[in-house]
A and B are shown apart, each in its own frame.
Chain A
């Protein structure tokens, strides 16, 4: 079966780094937050105790920020500067467009059985939301995390009481990010009927042509009209690779759901 390429190897690499760093940050962050509970202590023991957990959280956070800067450079390098503004506002761009509002309304209408399904192009509105939510999240979490990285130095430039405020912002934004990724992103990406048990597009890079015609008809038609479809057709990955992708993906999903469920069950202990 032929596939149409949605993500380049570099983009998949970015997602892989983001995924791994996010999972580590989630585990170490929850371990720190819940260290007063039995579950939190078990988590910190996994990382070699509370001080090591804090160290890992800080270093992986720096790695995450470094990858984000590389991503920004990648964006700037891949923009077609001569074709502005059309090049960053076209259907291949993740910049939100007015059409996205109409498509989201039509999609909700389709969910409720009021109208037919919308005709998506390469990026649907929820995918753009996910991308910009991560963008905003890294800016906020990275910014507050960087200030909290060394509070003694930071307090030379900002008042010490601001650290109280920044820590709460960091916590709530991290909780929001984890809950959104573990509940909504995983469900849409892997657990809904059409993608169950796992959507491998972010590992393989391609999506089945027939599935693309069904889910994103405007994209496939546009490629056919431009005569560019043949250029983006790729072969499906081998069976062994697909097995590895499944095992890896399930491990991440199950691990993250374990964190989410335990965080929820132990939340009352945080209140004391």
Chain B
């Protein structure tokens, strides 16, 4: 039997032919398991590979949404703290999610949904419509933490540095208070959530409507008047009470 003698410090190790065959066989078997999986990443595009190798290097984010997570993330105590947030009965489910490390935990059929399917209004922001920014570029990869979670990049204490500054260099905490997903100024609920926007909007609308309410009838009637003869007079007196007799006498 041929033996392979290794140099120091492995001189005492001796591999028989059978051991070599088994070693090669095991390596090939492992390769059969792992190598195709590595190759397949280009096809399957796990979120980690996609994010690290493509999006962060090229700056070109893809249109589709984040894949759901493969593991259960650390979850902060989901029970709301009375001293931190005041819960309304109807808003409880929504509000406490703002404080979770994974704000979408427990949602049914989450892996088959997109951001826009549950948040259609948020997709109409100027960032999405004009700059074509996808949800994930700001809210990050899965698991998406609630905006008020202490580790979230979207937390108001660090959003300006970790999120806004990616495009708006030099942004400040004040800058981060800009409402990207601003409420509709037409909505009555905005009166409570963003009163300055609500009242400024309606002041301007009343100003515009008032201007047109005065000038459009004025302009149209003026245009029509110029088609009438210059001597045109509306004889109102003829229709006034007490004047009919005189007119009849005429």
The answer on a CB contact under 8 Å between A151 and B168 is yes
Query: Given contacts A112-B234, A113-B233, is CB(A194)–CB(B176) below 8 Å?
Result: no
Question: Which residue on B lies nearest to A35, using beta carbons?
Answer: B130
Query: Given contacts A165-B200, A176-B207, is CB(A160)–CB(B174) below 8 Å?
Result: yes
Q: In the complex, which of the residues B172, B204, B215, B219 contacts A156, with contact meaning CB atoms closer than 8 Å?
A: B172
The answer on a CB contact under 8 Å between B172 and A155 is yes
The answer on a CB contact under 8 Å between A164 and B208 is no
The answer on a CB contact under 8 Å between B175 and A151 is yes
What's the Cα separation between A160 and B201 when bound, in Å? 17
Question: Which residue on B lies nearest to A191, using beta carbons?
Answer: B223
* B129: interface (CB < 8 Å): yes
Q: Mark A160-176, 1 if CB is under 8 A from B, else 0.
A: 11111100110011011
The answer on a CB contact under 8 Å between A165 and B196 is yes
The answer on a CB contact under 8 Å between A172 and B208 is yes
Query: Given contacts A113-B232, A152-B169, A169-B204, is CB(A161)–CB(B177) below 8 Å?
Result: yes
Query: Given contacts A159-B177, A161-B178, A165-B196, is CB(A180)–CB(B185) below 8 Å?
Result: no
Tell me which of A1-9, A77-85, A182-190, A250-258 binds B. A182-190
The answer on a CB contact under 8 Å between B179 and A172 is no
What's the Cα separation between A164 and B204 when bound, in Å? 14
* A38: interface (CB < 8 Å): no
Contact partners of A159 in chain B: CB under 8 A: 174, 177
Q: Which of B168, B200, B230 gathers most chain A CB within 10 Å? A: B200
What's the Cα separation between A209 and B124 when bound, in Å? 57
Q: In the complex, which of the residues B130, B177, B216 contacts A184, with contact meaning CB atoms closer than 8 Å?
A: B216
* B194: interface (CB < 8 Å): yes
The answer on a CB contact under 8 Å between A193 and B227 is yes
Contact partners of B124 in chain A: CB under 8 A: 272
* A114: interface (CB < 8 Å): yes
* B38: interface (CB < 8 Å): no
Contact partners of B185 in chain A: CB under 8 A: 168
The answer on a CB contact under 8 Å between A179 and B212 is yes
Question: Which residue on A lies nearest to B220, using beta carbons?
Answer: A187
* A57: interface (CB < 8 Å): no
Contact partners of A151 in chain B: CB under 8 A: 168, 175, 178
Contact partners of A187 in chain B: CB under 8 A: 219, 223
The answer on a CB contact under 8 Å between A152 and B170 is yes
For B, the interface residue count at a CB cutoff of 8 angstroms equals 43
* B225: interface (CB < 8 Å): yes
* B197: interface (CB < 8 Å): yes
Q: In the complex, which of the residues A111, A163, A173 contacts B204, with contact meaning CB atoms closer than 8 Å?
A: A173
Question: Which residue on B lies nearest to A196, using beta carbons?
Answer: B226
Contact partners of B1 in chain A: CB under 8 A: none
Contact partners of A110 in chain B: CB under 8 A: 225
What's the Cα separation between A192 and B129 when bound, in Å? 41
Q: In the complex, which of the residues B196, B215, B222, B236 contacts A114, with contact meaning CB atoms closer than 8 Å?
A: B236
Contact partners of A22 in chain B: CB under 8 A: none
Question: Which residue on B lies nearest to A133, using beta carbons?
Answer: B211
Query: Given contacts A169-B200, A176-B207, is CB(A192)–CB(B171) below 8 Å?
Result: no
What's the Cα separation between A162 and B179 when bound, in Å? 9
Q: In the complex, which of the residues A111, A175, A188 contacts B208, with contact meaning CB atoms closer than 8 Å?
A: A175
Contact partners of B188 in chain A: CB under 8 A: none
Contact partners of A163 in chain B: CB under 8 A: 178
Contact partners of A32 in chain B: CB under 8 A: 130
Q: Mark B123-153, 1 if CB is under 8 A from A, else 0.
A: 0100001100000000000000000000000
What's the Cα separation between A175 and B225 when bound, in Å? 28
* A223: interface (CB < 8 Å): no
* A39: interface (CB < 8 Å): no
* A50: interface (CB < 8 Å): yes
The answer on a CB contact under 8 Å between B215 and A155 is no
* B221: interface (CB < 8 Å): yes
What's the Cα separation between A158 and B215 when bound, in Å? 36
The answer on a CB contact under 8 Å between A180 and B211 is yes
**Which residues of B188-222 are within 8 A (CB) of A?**
194, 196-197, 200-201, 204-205, 207-208, 211-212, 215-216, 218-219, 221-222
Q: Which 10 A-B pairs have the closest CB atoms?
A: A113-B234, A160-B178, A155-B175, A160-B177, A172-B204, A193-B226, A176-B208, A36-B129, A155-B174, A111-B225
Q: Please list 15 pairs of residues, one from A and one from B, whose beta carbons are closer than 8 Å in the complex, sorted by A's number.
A: A35-B130, A36-B129, A110-B225, A111-B218, A111-B221, A112-B234, A113-B225, A113-B228, A156-B172, A160-B177, A161-B177, A172-B205, A176-B207, A180-B212, A191-B223
Given contacts A111-B221, A112-B221, 10 further A-B contacts (CB under 8 A): A35-B130, A50-B130, A114-B234, A153-B170, A156-B175, A169-B204, A180-B211, A187-B219, A193-B226, A193-B227
Residues of B within 8 A of A (CB): 124, 129-130, 168-172, 174-179, 182, 185, 194, 196-197, 200-201, 204-205, 207-208, 211-212, 215-216, 218-219, 221-223, 225-228, 230, 232-234, 236
